[in-house]
């Protein structure tokens, strides 16, 4: 069966009234849980799974997948408005999204996030439609050395996220890397930095750290500026509710960059969507002609990571649907859902259950359109949230953050940790330490350590495994280049000033 036949057949399945309805239910629920921090798509799908046992499989998977990619849309809302990441994948969006909101451009930031999500989400599905089997084969050629190189590429971005002082950026990064080391080491079954606390055996939760250093520290900083009635100006007039043409034009490359990076990283079972969004953000800043605007409310800084985390869901479905290999928690649950319905997810699924595969793929085109229609009109509505006076807004943010942290694993320790990280974030902010490198280090640290140890076990301790494999060598070279970038730029500006004189 050709791809076109399959897709047409898929649309025939997905466009039935009840499947469109299930798609709507899924993406709607996804948007909501995306907005709420703490409750992630994985937990939601697991909780809803028993209700879908008796559903027809195509409708069921269409709905559950809708929750999965719908959550990526919703995640940006609180990142932009409150500096509070709703999902792990939308942390990078906080960096410029919240700055845009502070400059009175909350509406355009939300609009750009929605448009970037739509474009990249659709490109991700398009890639899933066209090149799923070959790209799955490519994903298998990725192993530990390649993952290590990918994480190095991610870490090298610190020079771009670091702000003014490279020393402070690196310190922040190292704290993040150390935090990632807390927990049980899978290779030796020994615990590290747990200080005898059993609750730390699984390590720290990403959301607790992210909400702490972003949202709580912001609440503290805002509370300190008591004199002002409102921290964030309320957008007024239609021009401040939608992105301008110039802003959209500036984001052209970011949309594409986010789509490609998100999809490729999504396909790799060992990566994750927060890595995708950070890498897309870093690349965007690296190639930008105005890197100084990043971190101060650059629209590209919203478009790239938001695009990446949406294209990522299309990518993550590639190994799941073509090989039966789940890349992360949410796709693992989708896999178990398919088994419950009697579908056998694996290399034979596309030929044996074409209705389910193509129906799902087609529904994702529809879902992305629904999400855009659903989210764009919500922009003005959400922007009005900023009308809430500070004395009321701050306690609400604090409350949602606490509940979100508690919801992660139902443990009070997480709430204390949240408070601790909030304080840490506040102090870092006061002393001029950027928070983004800390998060980056935490996201990459664990996987990076694992990948290098796995690589060395594969090669019996020979480090040359990292450079003798072409993909890994290329990425390591690229990270060296990024590390050298500030140096090159510095030389160029020096030459320019010298010439000017």
Q: Does 186 bind other proteins (CB under 8 A)?
A: yes
Q: How far is the CB of 347 from other proteins (least distance, A)?
A: 4
The CA distance from 381 to 392, in Å, is 18
Considering the complex, state which of residue 21 and residue 348 has its C-beta at the smaller distance from other proteins: 348
Angle formed at CA 117 by CA 57 and CA 217, multiple of 5 degrees: 110
Q: Under a CB-based contact definition with an 8 Å cutoff, are residues 310 and 124 in contact?
A: yes
Among 117-125, 184-192, 299-307, 417-425, which window interacts with other proteins (CB under 8 A)? 184-192
Residue in 43, 171, 286, 415 binding other proteins, rule: CB under 8 A: 43
Q: Does 454 bind other proteins (CB under 8 A)?
A: yes
Instruction: Please give the residues from 231 up to 290 whose contact with other proteins meets the rule CB under 8 A.
Output: 269-270
Q: Under a CB-based contact definition with an 8 Å cutoff, are residues 98 and 80 in contact?
A: yes
Considering the complex, state which of residue 221 and residue 402 has its C-beta at the smaller distance from other proteins: 402
Considering the complex, state which of residue 46 and residue 286 has its C-beta at the smaller distance from other proteins: 46
Q: Under a CB-based contact definition with an 8 Å cutoff, are residues 109 and 299 in contact?
A: yes
DSSP letter, residue 268: S
Residue in 2, 4, 50, 229 binding other proteins, rule: CB under 8 A: 50
Residue in 75, 345, 367, 445 binding other proteins, rule: CB under 8 A: 345
Size of the site for other proteins (CB under 8 A): 58
**Cβ neighbours of residue 170 under 8 Å, at least 6 residues apart?**
158, 162, 437
Residue in 119, 139, 279, 439 binding other proteins, rule: CB under 8 A: 139
Q: Does 32 bind other proteins (CB under 8 A)?
A: no
For residue 204, the number of C-alpha atoms closer than 13 Å in the C-beta half-sphere is 29
Residue in 4, 54, 167, 198 binding other proteins, rule: CB under 8 A: 198
Considering the complex, state which of residue 34 and residue 319 has its C-beta at the smaller distance from other proteins: 319
Residue in 2, 54, 164, 190 binding other proteins, rule: CB under 8 A: 190
The CA distance from 238 to 107, in Å, is 9
Task: Enumerate helices (H) and strands (E) in the chain, giving the number of each.
Answer: 24, 2
Q: Does 405 bind other proteins (CB under 8 A)?
A: no
The CA distance from 208 to 212, in Å, is 6
Residue in 66, 169, 327, 367 binding other proteins, rule: CB under 8 A: 327
Residue in 3, 8, 348, 427 binding other proteins, rule: CB under 8 A: 348
Q: Does 187 bind other proteins (CB under 8 A)?
A: yes
Helix axes 436-458, 91-102, angle to 10 degrees: 160
The CA distance from 22 to 326, in Å, is 23
Residue in 16, 184, 296, 474 binding other proteins, rule: CB under 8 A: 184
DSSP string, 308-368: HHHHHHHHHHHHHHHH----SHHHHHHHHHHHHTT---STTHHHH-HHHHHHHHHHHHHHH
Question: What is the binding site for other proteins (CB under 8 A)?
Answer: 42-43, 45-47, 49-50, 139-144, 184, 186-191, 194, 196-202, 269-270, 319, 323-329, 331-333, 336, 339-340, 344-349, 409-411, 450, 454, 457-458, 460
């Amino acid at each position: 069966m050709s791809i076109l036949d399959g897709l047409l057949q898929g649309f025939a399945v997905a466009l039935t009234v009840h499947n469109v309805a299930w798609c709507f239910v899924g993406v709607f629920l996804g948007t909501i849980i995306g907005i709420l921090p703490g409750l992630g798509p994985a937990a939601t799908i697991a909780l809803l799974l028993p209700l879908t046992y008796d559903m027809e499989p195509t409708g069921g998977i269409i709905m559950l997948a809708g929750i999965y990619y719908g959550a990526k849309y919703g995640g940006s809302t609180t990142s932009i408005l409150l500096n509070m990441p709703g999902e792990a994948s939308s942390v990078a969006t906080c960096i410029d999204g919240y700055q845009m909101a502070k400059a009175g451009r909350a509406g355009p930031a939300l609009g750009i996030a929605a448009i970037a999500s739509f474009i990249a989400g659709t490109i991700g599905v398009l890639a899933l439609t066209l090149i799923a089997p070959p790209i799955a084969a490519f994903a298998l050629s990725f192993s530990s050395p390649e993952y290590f190189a990918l994480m190095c590429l991610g870490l090298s971005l610190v020079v771009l996220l670091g702000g003014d002082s490279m020393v402070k950026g690196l310190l922040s990064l190292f704290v993040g890397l150390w935090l990632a080391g807390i927990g049980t080491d899978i290779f030796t079954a020994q615990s590290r930095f747990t200080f005898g606390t059993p609750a730390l055996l699984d390590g720290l939760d990403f959301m607790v750290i992210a909400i702490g250093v972003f949202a709580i520290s912001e609440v503290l900083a805002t509370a300190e500026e008591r004199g002002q009635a409102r921290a964030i100006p309320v957008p007024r007039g239609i021009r401040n509710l939608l992105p301008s043409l110039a802003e959209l034009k500036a984001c052209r490359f970011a949309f594409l960059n986010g789509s490609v990076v998100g999809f490729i990283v999504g396909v790799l079972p060992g990566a994750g969507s927060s890595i995708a969004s950070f890498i897309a953000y870093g690349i965007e800043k690296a190639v930008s002609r105005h890197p100084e605007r990043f971190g101060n409310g650059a629209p590209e800084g919203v478009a790239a990571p938001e695009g990446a985390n949406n294209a990522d869901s299309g990518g993550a479905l590639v190994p799941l649907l073509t090989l039966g290999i789940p890349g992360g928690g949410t796709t693992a649950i989708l896999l178990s859902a398919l088994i419950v319905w009697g579908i056998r997810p694996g290399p034979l699924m596309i030929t044996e259950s074409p209705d389910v595969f193509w129906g799902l793929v087609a529904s994702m085109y529809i879902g992305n359109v629904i999400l855009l229609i659903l989210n764009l009109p919500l922009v003005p509505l959400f922007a009005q949230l900023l009308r809430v006076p500070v004395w009321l807004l701050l306690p609400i943010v604090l409350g949602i953050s606490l509940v979100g942290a508690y919801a992660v694993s139902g443990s009070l320790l997480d709430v204390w940790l949240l408070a601790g990280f909030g304080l840490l974030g506040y102090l870092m902010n006061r002393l001029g330490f950027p928070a983004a490198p800390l998060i980056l280090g935490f996201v990459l640290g664990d996987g990076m350590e694992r990948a290098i140890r796995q690589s060395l076990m594969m090669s019996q301790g020979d480090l040359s495994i990292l450079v003798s494999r072409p993909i890994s060598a290329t990425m390591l070279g690229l990270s060296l280049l990024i590390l050298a970038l500030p140096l090159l730029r510095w030389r160029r500006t020096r030459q320019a000033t010298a010439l000017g004189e």
